[in-house]
Amino acid sequence: MSVHHPDYTDLIRETPTDFSVHSRVYTDPAIFAAEMHNLFENGWCYVAHESEIEKPGDFRTSAIGRIPVIVSRGDDNQVYVNINACRHRGTLVCREERGNTRYFTCPYHGWSYHKDGKLNHITDRDNFPDGWGEDITGLIAAERVAVYRGMIFASFNKDVPEIEQYLGPLKTYVDYWFDHALNGTVKVLKPWRATYQGNWKYQLENSTDGWHARYVHISALKTISHYGTYASNTGWSGCTRGFDGGHGILERPRTDIPPDLQPDFEQFRLALCTHYGEERGNRMFVRRHITLFPNIQLMEFKLRVIQPVSVDRTIVYEFPVELEGTDAVFNKAIRTRLLKEISISSGSPVSGMVNADDVEIYARNQSGLASGQMEWIRLARGIHREVEERKHEWSGQDMDELPQRAIYREWARRMK
């Protein structure tokens, strides 16, 4: 039987002076289902970090779109990604978020699987025909698994491009982010989490949106100003970047460090310059929000992971990181920065003072578009001044909607 695959590319309109996205992109359950297949299952999707599964038997449950998966380290020390569903009746094999195990055992009828997902045991074999189950090798494995800088990606598409091709020129900025650790590796700590009533792409867009803070976060900014930790967001310098592949960056100087932490951060900058050379060290010491399409964002010393649940419900995880091979003084300053409530958005947790404003806006967006009467949203700010800095990379001013346009150019390509 033939299957009809809708072409959703007419939902994105672009001219040299305008860029529009149809509201169905945020509200249509059929489009959401297609996104889960085309963008998440069929491309690279971030599922975990290597530091979460350091030893054989370590595991973490995660998801590729709406497919639950187990990310584990086998006895051979390799990383495995398998669908978290027993081959007998489809029951979730593992309910724990993380841990260490000898076997994964289904709670329904006791079937068990090795650390790498291979079948270990079918209970009551005597009650099945001779040879039954020989075709069941284990849990269903992802077609491809790749690791870059400790980030574990998986895909159910065997023809997905190599991971460095997927990153393209964004790789330079990803390396900057990880190289803040003087030995090049980070440890991911336990996450904060928040749920909001809105489409997953609102969070994807917002982390590289430099325009909204002066309006959405006005109360937080006034509080910050009152306590003397930051004067104003007006006049911030920086830029936005957009990349083929849907990736994007919001880039600004680190001018928002609380005064009590500024001496430690200045010493940190000098340490980077000593380790990497002054030019690279200063180039690295910039506050960047980096989006890796479709579901991970490298924020200020934390990983933000976007987990779609339904067309109008999303979970956001934020994993603080510890910089390995780096002076404990700097890590302490970073922890204080992340946990300090009177700080700008790159510092506070996902459930903190600033980000609470964002999830309120996402819910308002979803409510505003729910009727379908307003068909098009507009993402044209700065479209007339995009500059191609190098192949597959464009730059704009710090409040331009360039990263958002990059998202939907890739969205249109992949949803074709």
Average pLDDT for the chain:
91
Per-residue pLDDT, 137:
96
Give yes or no for residue 67 having a pLDDT over 70: yes
Is the per-residue pLDDT at 122 higher than 50?
yes
> Rounded to an integer, what distance in angstroms lies between the CA atom of residue 67 and that of residue 157?
14
Confidence (pTM) = 0.93
pLDDT in tens, 146-159: 999 999 999 999 99
Question: What token pair was written down for 41?
Answer: 């299952």
Measured in degrees and rounded to the nearest 5, phi and psi for residue 323 equal: -85, 115
Spatial distance between the Cα atoms of 284 and 305, rounded to a whole number of angstroms: 22
Q: What is the pLDDT of residue 233?
A: 44
pLDDT digits (tens, 9 = 90+) for 13-60: 999 999 999 999 999 999 999 999 999 999 999 999 999 999 999 999
Q: 291 - beta bridge partners?
A: 248, 297
Backbone angles phi, psi at 47, to 5 degrees: -125, -25
pLDDT at 231: 44
CA pair distance 201, 24, nearest whole angstrom: 12
Kindly list the distances between the CA atom of residue 401 and the CA atoms of 133, 199, 310, 411, in Å, as whole numbers in the listed order.
54, 18, 25, 15
pLDDT in tens, 369-407: 999 999 999 999 999 999 999 999 999 999 999 999 999
What's the CA gap between 414 and 372, in Å, rounded?
24
Q: How crowded is the C-beta side of 139, counted as CA atoms within 13 Å?
A: 30
Query: DSSP string spanning 182-232?
Result: TTS-EEE-PPEEEEESS-HHHHHHHTT-SSSHHHHTHHHHHHHHHTTS---
288: three-class secondary structure by DSSP: strand
* pLDDT of amino acid 396: 96
For range 73-77, the mean pLDDT: 97
Whole-number pLDDT of residue 227: 56
pLDDT at 2: 44
Q: Is the peptide bond before 294 cis (omega within 30 degrees of 0)?
A: yes
Mean pLDDT is lowest, of 79-93, 108-122, 360-374, for 360-374
The Cα–Cα gap between 392 and 247 comes to: 10
